[in-house]
A and B are shown apart, each in its own frame.
Chain A
Amino acid sequence: MSRVLVGVKRVIDYAVKIRVKPDKSGVVTDGVKHSMNPFDEIAVEEAVRMKEKKLASEVIAVSCGPAQSQETLRTALAMGADRAIHVEISGPEYETLQPLHVAKILAKLSQDEKADLIIVGKQAIDDDSNQTAQMTAALLDWPQGTFASKIEKSDAGLTVTREIDGGLETVKTKMPAVISADLRLNEPRYATLPNIMKAKKKPMKKVSAKDLGVDLAARIKVISVEDPPVRQAGSIIPDVDTLVAKLKEGGHI
């Protein structure tokens, strides 16, 4: 029986059209719908399923961020996590929060809580860093199974099927380990209204990065955030000859 720590991030909802701030310092987040990172939902679902199969004894959800991150944690609790830890980080510190900081926090928490397994989403859909799992594993010196599309319990540890370019790779890890969830690992359940209500009674602990002894000094500086290039409009051509001429002009034939 093991204790599972799951990292969840509050991100701008996947369906929202992202707008860049006019001063290019970031994207507009005020008054924008936020929800749990879809890959983290998959991570939570996997942990909860492990608990349902009696492979895990307890599921702890962790989120680093401002006060609103508690809503994301509530969703995780509604999906079946047992308790939550909110690492409160707000203001300028949150803006420059990097996977390295989160990895340090997760590493520290996993030792404090005596976790045997950390599951996180492979990447967040806002910064797309894809670094937290790898860094956490390195900091703890634990084995890692990233981009997992299947996790099975074997005698000494886990058998993880990983999604890699052009195929699948199967690795065996010992426990404790760090896993990052890929899209095809499972289908996360919907957090229903009664479950969200029940989740309000589940314990949520609030800590600060300082309590954990993690230095949040910025390691990087954001120079500029810009919109991706806009696709140019096509044009309608009257006949085949013009088309051939245009293609020749463009060097395609």
Chain B
Amino acid sequence: MSQPQRRAVLNLYKTLLFLGRDWPQGYELFRKRLHNVFLRNSEETDSNKIDMMLKHGQFVVKEIEALYKLKKYRAMKRRYYDDN
């Protein structure tokens, strides 16, 4: 793995771990699953495939952020506004 790619992977892992702190089912579950996924793909050497996985990782980051936003918005809406 090239150096910049290695850094990108580590950054992705850290970003996801950070997001995991707010995971509804708890940080531990998130951390374990995340670790497993990264471990499973740790043998990958094809640079193109790694790039693809990095892209997918960025997509997952965006999805999780969107999930948190929506969850909070809905909770506030339910608590403070009539549900019509």
Binding site for B on A (CB under 8 A): 14-15, 38-39, 125, 183, 187-188, 190, 192-193
Contact = CB atoms under 8 A, between A and B. Distances in A.
B76 A187 contact: no
Given A15-B24, A193-B18, A183 B80 contact: yes
A183 B69 contact: no
A192 B15 contact: yes
Contacts of B72: 14, 38
16 contacts: A14-B72, A14-B75, A15-B24, A15-B71, A38-B72, A38-B76, A39-B76, A183-B73, A183-B77, A183-B80, A183-B81, A187-B73, A188-B69, A190-B68, A190-B69, A192-B15
Given A183-B81, A193-B18, A14 B69 contact: no
A14 B76 contact: yes
Interface of B: 14-15, 18, 24, 65, 68-69, 71-73, 75-77, 79-81
A38 B73 CA distance: 9
A38 B79 CA distance: 12
A78 to B, nearest CB: 11
Contacts of B65: 190
Nearest to B24: A15
A192 B21 CA distance: 12
Nearest to A190: B65
Contacts of B79: 125
A193 B15 contact: yes
A39 B80 CA distance: 11
Contacts of A192: 15, 18
Contacts of A38: 72, 76
Contacts of A14: 72, 75-76
Nearest to A128: B80
A193 B65 CA distance: 12
Nearest to A122: B80
